[in-house]
Amino acid sequence: MKKKIIFATTNEGKMKEIRMILDHPDFELVSLKDAGIHVHVEETGKTFEENAILKAKAICEATGEMVLADDSGLEVDYINKEPGVYSARYMGEDTPYDVKNQSIIDRLKDAKGEERSARFVCVIAAAFPDGRVVTARGTIEGVIGYEEKGTHGFGYDPILYVPEYGMTTGEMEPEMKNQISHRGKALRQMRKELGL
């Protein structure tokens, strides 16, 4: 029988990406929605690790199953690593991303070259019914662009320019972004940690 692993997200896009990377014959990966779980966990942590662990542990305790959870965001060095763990909440959850992105570009108007360094960070936490917790972290490094570019992806993708590839993550095809993204790296690292 396949062993069930719950991934603590309601985001189907993320779930698709996660299934592609964590595909394994012995495990069935299910989202909170698939598992019929409606537990809201407040992200009160100050780090991506704290938030990912908070979510994984809470759902693990509620279900008695092994749970994976992630927390991710954009860190911009020039503005003290903002928006960081507040990436989704920056300027308000419902503010459109073109407004959030323009705000970050404006706050960096005096920053030149390497001063514009930034990265996406993703931390995945695994919580086991015996109380054990494992985390894995992935990043993708870039610089904040001078204008939004690209229509792929979501969120802050149009402003993270990755010099190595000469484009923003918003200009990358999804398959390419998955190969090099913070989430892809963290998921593959977690796969190793779990011996899958």
For the CB of residue 21, give the shortest distance to ligand IMP in the complex, in Å: 14
For the CB of residue 129, give the shortest distance to ligand IMP in the complex, in Å: 24
Whether 71 is a known active-site residue: answer yes
Choice from 87, 101, 135, 168 touching ligand IMP (CB under 6 A): 87
Q: Please give the Cα distance from 58 to 99 (Å, whole number).
A: 33
Q: Please give the Cα distance from 161 to 50 (Å, whole number).
A: 28
User: Does 155 engage in binding with ligand IMP (CB under 6 A)?
Assistant: yes
User: Does 75 engage in binding with ligand IMP (CB under 6 A)?
Assistant: no
What distance lies between CA 177 and its chain's CA centroid? 13
The residue from 23, 70, 71, 130 that is catalytic is 71
User: Does 171 engage in binding with ligand IMP (CB under 6 A)?
Assistant: no
User: Does 74 engage in binding with ligand IMP (CB under 6 A)?
Assistant: yes
Q: Please give the Cα distance from 157 to 61 (Å, whole number).
A: 34
**Size of site (CB under 6 A) for ligand IMP:** 15
| AA identity, residue 97 | Y
User: Does 35 engage in binding with ligand IMP (CB under 6 A)?
Assistant: no
Strand partners of residue 144: 160
For the CB of residue 88, give the shortest distance to ligand IMP in the complex, in Å: 4
Q: Please give the Cα distance from 174 to 172 (Å, whole number).
A: 6
User: Does 184 engage in binding with ligand IMP (CB under 6 A)?
Assistant: no
Q: Please give the Cα distance from 98 to 157 (Å, whole number).
A: 11
